[in-house]
Amino acid sequence: MGDTTDFGFDTLQIHAGARPDPATGARQTPIYQTTAYVFRDADHAAALFNLQEVGYIYSRLTNPTVAVLQERLATLEGGIGAVCCSSGHAAQIMAIFPLMAPGCNIVSSNRLYGGTITQFGHTIKRFGWSANLVDFDDLDAVRGAIDENTRAVFCETIANPGGYITDLDSIAAIADEAGIPLIVDNTSATPYLCRPIEHGATLVVHSTTKYLTGNGTVTGGCIVDSGRFDWSKNDKFPSLSQPEPAYHGLKFHETFGNLAYTFHGIAVGLRDLGMTMNPQAAHYTLMGTETLSLRMEKHVANAQKLATWLEADPRVEFVTYAGLPSSPYYERIQRICPKGAGALFTVAIKGGYEACVKLVDSLEIFSHVANLGDTRSLVIHAASTTHRQLTPEQQQAAGAAPNVVRFSIGIEDPDDLIRDLDQALARAVA
């Protein structure tokens, strides 16, 4: 496919990045299960290693199957380029890696997946980086948390686990004002429900493990670059604006222009961090993207029906789904995700911690797993699992209080799911 601007989402999710295999005519993207690639001659090899020519050297850096996925995800998000990697957590580290140096920080929403809070709150300190976690509904607090050492602002479109919706436009304006990029984790929304770049995001990250693959088979991550940020407008991003010693003083932004961040992600990020996506995983994710819009429509319809039913049930204290008129984010979702509020939400069960554990153990169709975005409906009690490493205050802020369970609604028959919830609730609060 040539220029993709005139094609609809349903066409792009199948065709973007993919062409019939030139060697065989294979219509589906082949799995290029190879470590290395033969150079035409010594000059060709030298040009590739000097970044003077684009091509394949070694599959830690680039692979033809992964390259198709990168182009497809960049196209679906409205970005200029993308780098795929081994997991969503890898994508987060890869995303901030070119921006940071010891002593630098990021300003992040406090409504994040528990593993991300741990990664930002503890692990990145080992690099000499830090994160200021603040309430992104308090715009003054976001502004106040940014200082001269802040190198990025980070949030999720639809926060995991509570389904909280970030006002991306307002946060993007604050990041712009500070001259730093906004990084948005769009895992829970997917580009079908929201394209954060259209709301001012500089970079978009995904755990491709979730809805993009959609079937719970492989882990993966992706960073999509908008291509819109001027990395040379100040001296905050020397990795992109200043000479790179490992490439004979090449300046990424000067040399590659709006593709500077993407090239750096491959030529330095994947080269040295080695968080590579394998071609088999890329293949599964490519197949998943082909049905993304169909699945998301069903996910959203089911989630809306189940959230409405649960909210009316006397055994339930509250439901956090932004698609409900009672949600404080109902108006915001119309602007940020007009096609629907996703399929992720939490439910507070009367009876507290013990009732939540009993509910999880009593469900039959719902699978009790530490994942989301599967075709199957999933449940987890975050306080005893994904968020158990957090303090009670952090659990509360993240929407993972002890009386709360998280649901990821799949694409089964919604009436079957309601019957399963009904019998499990009866046991849980008996």
Task: Label residues 279-316 b or e (16+ Cβ within 10 Å = b).
Answer: bebbbbbbebbbbbbebbebbbebbbebbebbbebebb
Omega within 30 of 0 (cis) for the link into 161: yes
Domains, the chain, ordered by start: 11-288 (3.40.640.10), 292-428 (3.90.1150.10)
Name residue 81's beta-bridge partners: 225
Question: Residue 41 has what pLDDT?
Answer: 96
pLDDT, tens only, 81-108: 999 999 999 999 999 999 999 999 999 9
**Mean pLDDT, rounded, of the chain:** 95
For residues 290 and 46, give the distance between their C-alpha atoms in angstroms, rounded to a whole number. Answer: 37
By the 8 A CB rule, do 135 and 141 touch?
A: yes
Q: Which residues contact 259 (CB under 8 A, 6 or more apart)?
A: 80, 81, 225, 227
pLDDT, tens only, 254-271: 999 999 999 999 999 999
Please name the residue that has the structure tokens 């436009």.
Answer: 169
> Taking the alpha carbons of 380, 385, 386, 388 in that order, is the dihedral positive or negative?
positive
pLDDT higher than 90, residue 391:
no
Where is average pLDDT lowest: 1-10, 59-68, 105-114, 259-268?
A: 1-10
Token pair for residue 354? 């013990």
Q: What is the DSSP letter of 34?
A: -
Question: Residue 2 has what pLDDT?
Answer: 54
Question: Residue 10 has what pLDDT?
Answer: 97
pLDDT, tens only, 176-216: 999 999 999 999 999 999 999 999 999 999 999 999 999 99
Q: pTM of the entire structure?
A: 0.95
Beta strands in 57-174 (DSSP E): 81-85, 105-109, 130-134, 150-156
Question: Residue 401 has what pLDDT?
Answer: 85
Residue 411: Cβ-neighbour burial (10 angstroms; 0-12, 13-18, 19+): buried
SS3 408: strand
pLDDT, tens only, 400-428: 788 999 999 999 999 999 999 999 999 99
> Taking the alpha carbons of 384, 387, 388, 391 in that order, is the dihedral positive or negative?
negative
Q: If you average pLDDT over residues 316-335, what whole number do you get?
A: 97
Task: Count Cβ atoms below 10 Å from residue 400 Cβ, excluding itself.
Answer: 30
Sorting pLDDT into bands at 50, 70 and 90, what band is 393? Answer: confident
pLDDT, tens only, 284-311: 999 999 999 999 999 999 999 999 999 9
Question: Residue 5 has what pLDDT?
Answer: 66
Q: Which residues contact 407 (CB under 8 A, 6 or more apart)?
A: 306, 344, 345, 346, 347, 366, 377, 378, 379
Residue type, 271: R
SS3 85: strand
Residue 264: Cβ-neighbour burial (10 angstroms; 0-12, 13-18, 19+): buried
Task: Label residues 107-135 b or e (16+ Cβ within 10 Å = b).
Answer: bbbbbbbbbbbbbbbeebeeeebbbbbbe
pLDDT higher than 80, residue 1:
no
pLDDT, tens only, 120-161: 999 999 999 999 999 999 999 999 999 999 999 999 999 988
Task: Count Cβ atoms below 10 Å from residue 230 Cβ, excluding itself.
Answer: 12
For residues 70 and 321, give the distance between their C-alpha atoms in angstroms, rounded to a whole number. Answer: 31
DSSP line for 189-258: THHHH--GGGGT-SEEEEETTTTTT-SS----EEEEE-S---TTSSSS-HHHHSEEGGGTTEEHHHHHGG
More confident residue, 23 or 232: 232
